[in-house]
Structure 1
């Protein structure tokens, strides 16, 4: 109601500018809303856990990726080669909730 009263008192040229600004705003909002949020190069979540037993000098390094990071296997293999580790066991965990379609 207030918008209609104010809008009725605005001269014709200002009303045209107001309409153009509103249309441009809606077009810009539409363009931004259509963009995808993530691309294939977007950063992925990588979890690193380093444990070191100072008594036995034993160390552990656990790596995990939450978003299917590209090149994760290569990263792990490079770390294994650099550290000289011999007992590396890749563990693939699949749970039911992981197979549900994404809501994004």
Structure 2
């Protein structure tokens, strides 16, 4: 029989699956608001298709806001929602762990 926390962890992993979502949230936490091109520039290894997909999934999970400005050229900004901000302590722990255990820091 599955323990209640097992289901909670599975749910969290289903929402935050993939390597890019955590990094996107960290960038938005660090800079508050970012445009699509700025995120893409920070994640030079990500494809346009993957970034678009990850942003849409984060938005549909209510973790980020997408603000579209009615202008030419089009302008879209992304920021964390209050729900998204609740993941920041986890990201900070991940960053701390990485700093402590990264092979380059040994």
Pairwise TM-score range, normalised by the shorter structure: under 0.3
Q: Which has the higher helix share?
A: 2
**Structure of larger gyration radius:** 1
TM-score by length of 1: 0.22
TM-score by length of 2: 0.22
Higher relative contact order (CA 8 A, sep 6+): 2
